[in-house]
Amino acid sequence: MPRGGQSRISIVINGDRVEVPAGITVAAALFNLGITALRMSVSGEPRGPVCAMGVCFECRVTIDSRPHQRACLTAAVDGMHIQTASTS
Ligand code: FES
């Protein structure tokens, strides 16, 4: 196993396949990759995680074609497809 025994999984973010640590949240995986704008506000401003505990809903992304999923509460799963910066 790479990196001191920590297993890795493969997910697809905005069409790009990446490897992330198993057990990581979607929000943490995106943050680690430098992706901080997860959605767009109705006025077109980029929005990202604020509370990281499921309260603010600013981290909503589309996961496996399901919109409005809170990235901070969702564990990344091997093969998961994530779309960020939607207008939803
Ligand atoms: S960061 Fe607040 S709900 Fe996810």
pLDDT, tens digit (0-9, with 9 covering 90-100), for 68-84: 999 999 999 999 999 99
Contact 37, 49 (CB under 8 A): no
- Ligand 1 centroid to Cα of residue 3, in Å, is 28
**Tokens describing residue 68:** 């409005």
Write down the domain spans for the chain: 2-83
Pick the residue whose CA is nearest to atom 3 on ligand 1. Answer: 54
* pLDDT over 50 (residue 87): no
Average pLDDT for 15-43: 96
What pLDDT score does 86 carry? Answer: 55
The CATH fold of domain 2-83: Ubiquitin-like (UB roll) (3.10.20)
What pLDDT score does 85 carry? Answer: 86
* Element spanning 28, H or E: helix 26-32
**pLDDT single digits (tens) 9-23:** 999 999 999 999 999
Task: Please list every protein residue whose CB sits less than 6 Å from any atom of ligand 1.
Answer: 49-52, 54-59, 70, 72
